[in-house]
Amino acid sequence: MGQIIERLAIERGHEIVAKYNSQHPFNAKSCLEADVAIEFSSPELAVEHLKSCIEKKIPVVTGTTGWYSHYDYIKTHCHNHDSAIFSATNFSLGVNLFFEMSKRLTSLMNNQPYTLSIEEIHHTEKKDAPSGTAITLAENVIAASNTLKNWDLTNDKLSSDSEDQSILPIKALRIEGVPGTHVLQFESDVDTIKLEHEAKSRLGFAIGAIVAAEWIVGKTGVFGMRDLLNFEN
pLDDT per residue rounded down to tens, the chain (233 residues): 889 999 999 999 999 999 988 888 887 677 678 999 999 998 999 999 999 999 999 999 999 988 999 999 999 999 999 999 999 988 998 999 999 999 999 999 999 999 999 999 999 988 789 998 999 999 999 999 999 999 999 987 655 444 688 999 999 999 999 999 999 999 999 999 999 999 998 888 899 999 999 999 999 999 999 899 887 65
Which architecture does CATH list for 2-91+202-229? 3-Layer(aba) Sandwich (3.40)
Is residue 7 classed as helix, strand or coil in its secondary structure? helix
Among residues 172, 103, 86, 185, which one has the least CA distance to residue 137? 103
Which residues are marked as active site? 122, 126
Superfamily of domain 93-198: Dihydrodipicolinate Reductase; domain 2 (3.30.360.10)
Domain spans of the chain, in order of start: 2-91+202-229, 93-198
Q: Which residues contact 9 (CB under 8 A, 6 or more apart)?
A: 16, 210, 213
Torsions phi, psi of 214, nearest 5? -65, -35
98 CB neighbour count, 10 Å cutoff: 19
